[in-house]
Structure formats: structure tokens, C-alpha cells
Amino acid sequence: MANFWDFSVWGTFNLIAVLLISLLVANILKKTVKFLRVSLIPTSVLGGLLLLAVAAVYGAITDENMFDTAFFGGDGASGLEIITYHALALGFIATGLKISDKKITKERSVEIFNTGVTTVSTYLVQGVVGLGITLIASLIMTDFFAAAGVLLPFGYGQGTGQALNYGSIYESDYGFVGGKSFGLTIAALGFLSASIGGVIHLNILKKKGKIKLEPLMDEKLSSESVQEDGDIPMNGSMDKLTVQIALIALTYLVSYLIMWGLGLLLPGMRSVVYGFNFLIGVLVAALVKAVLKGLRKKKILKKKYVNNFLMTRVSNACFDVMVVAGIAAIRLDVLKSYWLVIIILGVVGAFITYYYNLFVARKLFKNYSEEQFLMMYGMLTGTASTGVILLRELDGDFKTPVADNLVYQNFPAIVFGFPMMLLATLAPKRPVLTLIILAVFLLAMNILLFRKQIFSRKKDVEQISETAAIEASTEETNE
């Protein structure tokens, strides 16, 4: 029987409360400190870094992990990892349940498809470079985990949650000591890369006179954006926000049952199956959305139960908590042998992501290349919200279609990116073979991405050759 005064009762609440308080403190600092205000560092990242610093000072004084004290239930460090793991999937599910009625033209479909392919191509660039770096490091450093570089695309390209997922798989299944903290540190460096690189690029554009940065105005909400036509009432017999949370919980529960069943069928791949919690959650969210739409068509449901505004708020809250918990979960003590490799991965990862996305944006998205670049660079070093932060500095009213590209590119990105997730489990066993496969996959994706330029050029060359041959034949006939 639990005593309500025991730390075991209060530990989880204390942990969540500290995470949320760190977000409040970080937000106050962002508003009051000029350097932080103009830095574009996300509040969640700043909050996580604050907690990491406090935990480091506490550990230096007491020689114990602050989050493993009785105040946090005795195992708060694991609690941070669990929060990060679930927040990733819950955020994606909330996003996946949102309804869109927009009509997409053929031209926009091509741009959205190219955005998705760019996302996967960047993952592959990061994977090839990251794995190449750690393969070289394993030849120099004794007992270094050669496949560690695969965590670069998960930390930079996919963010804190996936960096933790695969770091955990490498640590538990393949003996990579400190794998979770390694992945989380790469993700934290990704956020810093997004902020620093984004600010530098914006200032370059400003100095060249290409843009004029204006302070962002607070977003004004209309009643229609909160309460759409056909929605259930805001304060009915069941609160509207409660309905959204219930739908997310239903979706995640079904996702868990699917993962549980797959785990029984494929016991050797249980870690991988549960590492795909966010992907399975997105697929189930699509199914739940389709069922709700069908029930509406058959008039069984009279009102719309999903509200995009509230779902966006829930997903943003989940991602904020995910980031702050993920950074706070980093164990600096287990990374003391890896710092040089981590810094090299972080710096090279930032440069290669920056220049690759800049090249693609200027070749394929010429009408809004700078906006597309900032969004993609922010997303592929941090998260989607980081990309939106950078985009808003240049396109605060979302006049370009870049924000829509970000939303709709998820489907082609998941389709083409799924094989890479499977390859990540091959890397610890056959790192060199994995590097070769990633390189071939990267070549194929770039051929797909630049298909128009490649094949139209080939067609032009053939037409020129045919014209030359006709002219030569004509000259011979005349002679």
C-alpha cells in the first residue's frame, strides 16, 4: 500500500515538473537576454542545456546523478529516457491525426515529392559521412564502436527521440557503452548547428541586401481557427481538449498492441520494432483518421472530433518536452572518451547538411530557394519546429508553399527512408558493407531527385546529335 508522502508517489511528478519549470525559465531568459533573443536557439534546447548544467554541477559536488536521487523516485535518469521515447511518438501521432482539405496541384505534388526525397537524401549524406568518420576512428581508437556514426542522421536528421531509440538499441543489443548519451549529444549539437548556421545564413542574406528582416508579430488567432465549422463544442459534456488527448491515447494504445504482436512474432527484432514506435503510430493515426472520416460520411458521427488547432498545440507540447528531457538525459561522464569524435561528427555534419541543402534548394526550388533552404536545414539538423523557426524569420506570413512542403513531405520521406532505418541495424554487424549500401542508395536517390535535369540534358544532347547528323547528311547530298 502506497504512502502518499513517499518519493515513489511524487518522483515522476517531480521529474515532469522540473522539465516544465526549466522551459519556463528558458523562456524568460529568451525574452530578457539579448544574445539569447537573437540566437534562434529553441527554448526547449535552452531548457535542456540548463538542466544539463545544473545536473553536472550537482554531480561534481555530490558525485551522484541528480536525477537518480530519491526526489525523482530513485531512477529519474531512466524516466527522462522514457519521457523522450513516448513524447516522440505522441507528437507524431498528434500531427498525423490532423485533417487537411487542401487540393494539391500537379506542380505542387512534384515539389512536395522532391522535398521528401531531399529529406531522405540528406539522411543518407549524413549517414555516409558519419559512418565514414567513425570507421576511421575505430581504426585509431581501441574498442571504439565503428557504427556510431549512423547516429548522425538520427540525431541531426530525425531529432532527439530517434537518436535515443537507436542509441539505446546499440547500447543494449551491441554493447556500445554510452550509446544513448552519444546519440542524445549528437541531437543536441544538431539544434546548436541549426541555430548557429541559420543565424549566419540570415545575416549573409541581410548583408547582401537580399532580405530585410522584420521583427515577428505575435500570432493573432481568429475564432474560426480554434472552433471550425462542424466541430464538436469546446465545452460540451466532454472537453474538446480531452477528446483530442483521448484520440491520441487510443491511437498509441493500438500502436502498442501492434508492436507487442510483432515483438512476439519477431523476438529477435523486438528492439527494432519498438524503436519504430513513432512510425507505427503515424500509420495507425492515418487509419484512425480514415475511420473517423468514414463514420462522418455515413452520418454515424454528426460532428468533427479532430481539431487541428488543438492537435498542433498537443504535438508542439510533446516535442518541447521531448527535447528538454532528451538533452537533460545526457550522461556527460560516459562520453569522456568520445568527445573528439562527437565534435568532429557535429561540425562535419553541420557543414555537409548546410551545403547539400543549399545546393538542392537553389537547383530545384528556384522560386523560393532561400525559404526552402532555411526550412530544410533547420529541420535536418534539429526538428520540424526548428525549421519553422528559421522559415518565419524570412517568411513570417507563410506566403511561400514551403510550410506545406514540410507537412506533406512526410509520406515520401517515410517510404524512401524506411530502408535506411533497417540498414541502421545492419551497421553494428557489417559497418563497411552498410557504408557501401548507403553510398549506392545515396546515388540512386540523387538520380531520382535530379531526374529532370539529368534526363532532359540527355534528351537535349540526343536532339543536338540528331540535328548535327541531319545537317551533315544534307551537306553530303548537296555535294
DSSP 8-state assignment for residue 427: T
Q: How far apart are CA 372 and CA 378, in angstroms?
A: 10
CA distances from 304 to 52, 249, 288 (A): 42, 18, 13
CA angle 116, 88, 256 (to 5 degrees): 105
| Percent of the chain clearing pLDDT 70 (strictly above) | 89
pLDDT surpassing 80 at residue 14 = yes
Indicate yes or no: pTM above 0.85.
Answer: no
Q: How far apart are CA 336 and CA 448, in angstroms?
A: 41
3 state SS of 231: strand
- CA distance readout (Å), 299 to 94, 234, 294, 380: 24, 21, 9, 42
- Measure Cα distances from 472 to 73, 361, 464, 468 in Å: 86, 41, 12, 6
Overall average pLDDT of the 195-221 stretch: 72
Q: Look at residue 278 in the predicted model and tell me its pLDDT.
A: 82
**134-154: per-residue pLDDT in tens?**
999 999 988 899 999 999 999
Phi, psi angles (nearest 5°) of residue 102: -70, 140
Q: Quote the radius of gyration of the chain (alpha carbons, Å).
A: 25
Confidence band, pLDDT 50/70/90 cuts, at residue 102: low
Higher local confidence (pLDDT), 463 or 334: 334
Q: Which of residues 208 and 363 earns the better pLDDT score? A: 363
Least confident of 203-207, 275-279, 409-413, 475-479: 475-479
Mean pLDDT across the chain: 85
- Burial (CB count <10 Å: 0-12, 13-18, 19+), residue 130: buried
Residue 173 has pLDDT above 70, yes or no: yes
CA separation for the pair 132, 153 (Å, rounded): 13
Across residues 78-93, what is the average pLDDT? 89
Q: DSSP label at 51? A: H
- Assess whether pLDDT exceeds 80 at residue 93: yes
Q: What would the mean pLDDT of 37-49 be, rounded to a whole number?
A: 84
List CB contacts of 295: < 8 A, sequence separation 6 or more.
Answer: 301
Most confident of 261-275, 392-406, 427-441: 427-441
Strand partners, 304: 231
Whole-angstrom Cα distance, residue 402 to residue 365? 10
The C-alpha cell that represents 332 in the structure block: 556527460
- Has residue 457 got a pLDDT over 70? no
Distance of alpha carbon 292 from its chain centroid, rounded? Answer: 27
The Cα 267–Cα 262 span in angstroms is 8
Distance, CA of 65 to CA of 55 (rounded, Å):
7
Task: Report pLDDT for 145.
Answer: 93
Q: Across residues 412-416, what is the average pLDDT?
A: 80
- Record the cell numbers describing residue 192, joined without a space: 546548436
Band the pLDDT of 61: cuts 50, 70, 90. very high
- Buried/exposed 88-121: b ≥16 CB within 10 Å, e otherwise: bbbbbbbbbbbeeeeeeeeeeeebbbbbbbbbbb
Q: Is the pLDDT of residue 425 over 90?
A: no
What average pLDDT does this structure show over 285-302? 89
Mean of the pLDDT values across residues 75-97? 88
Three-state DSSP class for residue 304? strand
All three cell numbers of 93, joined, read 501521432
Three-state secondary-structure class, residue 259: helix
10 Å Cβ neighbour count for 143? 8
In this prediction, residues 438-454 reach a mean pLDDT of: 92
Grid cell listed for 263: 515483438
Residue 122: predicted pLDDT = 95
Distance CA(55)–CA(332), nearest Å, equals: 10
Domain ranges of the chain: 7-212+232-456
Q: Cα separation of 288 and 131, whole Å?
A: 38
Strand partners of residue 235: 239
Closest CA to 97 of 274, 257, 315: 315
In sequence order, what DSSP letters do the residues of 119-177 get, joined into one string? HHHHHHHHHHHHHHHHHHHHHHSTT--GGGGGHHIIIIIS-HHHHHHHHHHHHHHH--T
Least confident of 69-73, 123-127, 172-176, 401-405: 401-405
Give me the helices (H) in 63-104, please: 76-96
pLDDT digits (tens, 9 = 90+) for 243-258: 999 999 999 999 999 9
Count the neighbouring beta carbons within 10 Å of the beta carbon of residue 342: 19
Per-residue pLDDT at 225: 62
3-state class (DSSP) for residue 326: helix
pLDDT at 454: 85
pLDDT at 277 over 60: yes
Q: Is the pLDDT of residue 460 over 80?
A: no
Please name the residues in contact with 193: beta carbons below 8 A apart, sequence gap of 6 or more: 156, 346, 349, 350, 353, 381, 382
Q: Is the pLDDT of residue 158 over 60?
A: yes
Number of C-beta neighbours around residue 337 at 10 A: 13
Percent over 90 (pLDDT), the chain:
42
